[in-house]
Amino acid sequence: MLECKGVDAVVIATPDKFHAAAVKIAAAAGKDILCEKPIALSLSDAHDLLAAVSKARVRFQVGFMRRYDPAYVSAMKRIEAGEIGVPVVFKSIGRDKDGPPLSAYQPFLSGMLFYANSIHDFDLARWLMQDEVSEVHAYTTSTVRPELAQFGDVVAGVVNLKFQAGAIGNVESHCQAVYGYDVRTEIIGSKGSILIGSMHQTPATFLTTQGSARPLADHFLSTFADAYLAEIRDFVDAMLNDCPPRVSGEDGLKALAIAVAAENSHLQGKATSVTVNAVTAAS
């Protein structure tokens, strides 16, 4: 495929484990690249692939589709306009309805929860707060699915964040919420707050395996179909017009660095500094 002269760009949507190698192969073939998150499962692999992209002088975009979701785009514009003042607290929830079958964990083809799920929220934290995360402290649980421990994974995680400019944050990820697909984000500033996503304004909402009294999303495509479409259109427009991608390899690297720090915090049981140096996650 990469030898075809008529192919100018590729989309990489393989399992996480193969992203870095696929990027390097596509870059060496001179193709522009849109790669799904995470760009790699270690910072050393991420640096290697970014060096390959730079050497080949190809364009490289990372698939953080939430940046293209209309609600998030609108929120970012209002933050940039100063409507909520200085961002102080970032809060984000990401819950999948159904956990993957156990067989999905066995080949170690994808990264753990922080790489597969939370990395979207880590990217949003950097983007919406317009600041870098300097430290994380992760708490995890596999209480309802202890068999995941043998694969180095967890059912749910809460990661507290510290930002360089002094703001704080919190990211909650859950891969088996059972009631529906639930993504919500809040940015609290010195003049107000922006909430993205809603569980509907009712005195009490009850969520069970049978669903809810109100319609709930049941899959990520139900929520972000338009964002995926906008993302791929933007990638194509950037390639055709010889423009740099809106979501860069550096964005992918910095979000990955937060995920690596969160995994290290999970393994070590303490707060961990975020660094983009080429080091692998603890094992």
Single pTM value for the model: 0.88
Provide the token pair at 157: 């995680």
- Cα distance between residue 56 and residue 48, in whole Å: 12
CA distances for 122 relative to 12, 125, 180, angstroms: 21, 5, 22
pLDDT digits (tens, 9 = 90+) for 89-141: 999 999 999 988 988 888 888 999 999 999 999 999 999 999 999 999 999 99
Q: Are residues 192 and 84 in contact, defined by beta-carbon separation less than 8 angstroms?
A: yes
Provide the token pair at 149: 């421990």
Indicate the pairing of strand 87-95 with strand 60-63: unpaired
Provide the token pair at 121: 């929220």
Decide: residue 144, CB within 10 A, 0-12 exposed, 13-18 middle, 19+ buried: exposed
pLDDT digits (tens, 9 = 90+) for 198-223: 655 444 344 445 554 455 566 676 77
pLDDT digits (tens, 9 = 90+) for 163-189: 999 999 999 999 999 988 899 999 999
pLDDT value of position 278: 61
Domains and CATH numbers, the chain: 9-64+228-248 (3.40.50.720), 66-221+254-273 (3.30.360.10)
